[in-house]
Amino acid sequence: METQYSNSQWKHWSTLTLLILVSAIFVFAGCGKKKSSVNPYGYNPYGYGNGTCASCTGNSQFMLAALGVVYTAQGQPRMELGLEFFGAGQAATQNSYTQYSGQVQAQGRLYVNVGDYQCNMAPGQYNVTTVQPGTMEYQSIYDLMLVATPVSGGAGVQLQISLPSNFVSARTSSQVGMDGRTYPYRLQNPVYINTASCRFFLE
């Protein structure tokens, strides 16, 4: 005896089959995704020196990676300074601060989106290294002198950078810089480019 189905029964089975197929697609699509994790203690896995500082002097140890941004009046990034900070000896980094007091050096990259003619600062990308080590007292950094050199083939001239009195603090969520690297810390307060009259505020 041949079984017969009503229109309503066919509609029910076709709807159920469609739901099963859609669910299977979502399950298989999600299988290939992996969650990315961010180390809250400041280590930058995409660092310029992979935890080492080629330009640092003495026994340097990676502490944290911090990003400072200068914004235009319209709220757009004018420049971005991403630095890895290195201490001497056993520098301990915690979630929101460093238990360190002593010499500090840095390396990283400067991105200039909007240049400044008076400061002789051209737009472009610059590699940043330490010229004169500064001093770090917990979250405060004093008198760190850096130099920014245009990346290979880039425009602009070498820039002198001074961090006279700056502050690093943990971000509520890590920020990705223009270089694609992850920065769990924020670099704040003024930065001087070439001369004391060329002062920009990092935030």
- Residue ranges for the chain with pLDDT beneath 70: 1-51, 90-98, 153-155
Among 36, 55, 71, CA closest to 173:
36
Q: What sign has the CA pseudo-torsion 185, 188, 192, 198?
A: positive
Q: Look at residue 36 in the predicted model and tell me its pLDDT.
A: 33
Q: Look at residue 194 in the predicted model and tell me its pLDDT.
A: 94
pLDDT by residue (tens digit) across 137-162?
988 999 999 999 998 766 678 999 99
Q: Look at residue 45 in the predicted model and tell me its pLDDT.
A: 42
Among 43, 79, 41, 93, CA closest to 177:
79
Question: Rounded to whole angstroms, how far apart are CA atoms 171 and 185?
Answer: 5
Question: Rounded to whole angstroms, how far apart are CA atoms 117 and 122?
Answer: 7
Q: Look at residue 101 in the predicted model and tell me its pLDDT.
A: 87
**Is 0.85 surpassed by the pTM of this model?**
no
Helix (H, G, I), strand (E, B) or coil at 7: helix
Q: Look at residue 15 in the predicted model and tell me its pLDDT.
A: 52
Q: Look at residue 131 in the predicted model and tell me its pLDDT.
A: 94
Q: Look at residue 54 in the predicted model and tell me its pLDDT.
A: 80
